[in-house]
Structure 1
């Protein structure tokens, strides 16, 4: 991972656009303010808006948490309801056509919430502090996401993970996902992480040992292509908090979860 642009968007709702659900924000992949000539939104007010959206509070241990009554939680609940309906319908259709249905989940801020890291480090990224944070394996769940993972499994849908976390962070990611209840298909055949030292052959167009040039879209879309074309699955839904988690095809439907705290191109 990780974050190429930080604190660039404040989301207040999720917007349904065609077949995808998108988190609204001041800056997104399709609506960037990076080249704007007008005065940008005040960063102090932006941080307050983010806190309001998440209903941010510090728990007894001083860990920043999102509120289950927040607009963020309500937006996730609407996405979850639509996704469950879609998974149920498409899983039955896939089996009728002799296909193997699958879903793909990003991890950071799709399954595991990083709000405490963002608040603690003032929406800036540092590889050392991020690695320490990930390796604590103590992030809370994104509301509803572990339940959605288990729901997909209950419908006979194969679950895959497509994350920007590194191979060195695998053990911590697995531990954390188990802790929040997303204990489904967490083996190496289902959880795809970045391995820049020994990239998989299916990414040969942008990665060779010691020479990684893959963009996030190339890496994630290339992995989904591998799941569909090499492993023989039909990806009926792909979930992520960044547009770069979703762009590039190889999924019947994409679900953009809200994340106003950073933007990954």
Structure 2
């Protein structure tokens, strides 16, 4: 899973929510005595807040769902409305030169958007709830390969809108190459009517990493951080003739590193990826 740095358990949610977990009561190399900070937020109460935020409910099959009128869905809609305006402007006026390139260098390139998959394109809320926000590699792998996740509210529509404006769509995920089939199948089932071949869906291929990641990955050893992997891949996409006018992710690490004119951080209070 791309959440290799994910903190296990519901404590993750507390960290994401800004609770003072790091360093609480812990001794460090430069401080032999434990440092005491404010009491973290109560986990039980935080879980309730997360449920309220997502409008959590179980369907007839016991699958955890998010309500379409939830605060989560409304936050997504606000972000997507802004993104559509930006996409329309970029498509109408041509690709804008970004801060990562020389002035005017990206003019004439075809506009594109890049989307993360987990909790940006496909919602994993059922997995988080049923595992009590605890990550396990085997159960996550089975969940991804089952290809039953619903789309994140509004994202298939955003993709369709971008395509209608002549904007190319790419997916960039920390899922492994062995999970590609499950992810691609799921994206299609969830309503993403766009190209989902290997030139449009980028996964982590640790066995045979692409040459453009040679600075941090070789067939013998993968050392790319999330930021390095996603930054390097966006750079590669732009090198093939595209200007990434929008990059979408639910983690800051999905978006850091440049090679996108604008970034859109989608809400996700359930885990953290560094």
Fold match by TM threshold 0.5 = yes
- Larger relative contact order (C-alpha < 8 A, sep ≥ 6)? 1
**Alignment partner, residue 5 of structure 1:** 7
Task: Give unpaired runs (5+ residues) of structure 1.
Answer: 12-24
Q: Are residue 129 (structure 1) and residue 139 (structure 2) matched? A: yes
Q: Are residue 35 (structure 1) and residue 35 (structure 2) matched? A: no
User: For 1:192-222, what per-residue CA distance to the aligned partner results, in whole angstroms no more than 9, with x for missing partners?
Assistant: 0000000000000100003001100000011
- Calculate the aligned-residue CA RMSD, in Å: 1.7
How far 1:95 moved relative to its partner?
Answer: 5.6
- For the pair shown, the structure with the greater C-alpha radius of gyration is 2
Q: Are residue 161 (structure 1) and residue 168 (structure 2) matched? A: no
**Alignment partner, residue 112 of structure 2:** 102
Correspondence 1:162-241 to 2 at 5 A: 162-228=172-238, 230-241=239-250
User: In the superposition, relative to structure 1, how do residues 50 and 166 fare at CA in structure 2: closer, same or farther (>3 Å)?
Assistant: same
- Secondary structure of the residue that 2:94 maps to in structure 1? helix
- Secondary structure of the residue that 1:163 maps to in structure 2? strand
User: For 1:140-160, what per-residue CA distance to the aligned partner results, in whole angstroms no more than 9, with x for missing partners?
Assistant: 110000111111111100111
User: For 1:13-68, what per-residue CA distance to the aligned partner results, in whole angstroms no more than 9, with x for missing partners?
Assistant: xxxxxxxxxxxx623xxx97523522111111111110000000000000000001
**Alignment partner, residue 258 of structure 2:** 249
- Rounded to whole Å, the distance in 2 between the matches of 1:58 and 1:71 is 17
- Rounded to whole Å, the distance in 1 between the matches of 2:144 and 2:84 is 29
Q: Are residue 145 (structure 1) and residue 155 (structure 2) matched? A: yes
- Rounded to whole Å, the distance in 2 between the matches of 1:5 and 1:170 is 24
Contact kept? 1:117, 1:133, Cα under 8 Å: yes
- Secondary structure of the residue that 1:219 maps to in structure 2? helix
- Rounded to whole Å, the distance in 1 between the matches of 2:21 and 2:109 is 42
**Alignment partner, residue 44 of structure 1:** 44
- Secondary structure of the residue that 2:203 maps to in structure 1? strand
- Rounded to whole Å, the distance in 2 between the matches of 1:210 and 1:87 is 40
Task: Give unpaired runs (5+ residues) of structure 2.
Answer: 25-36, 97-106
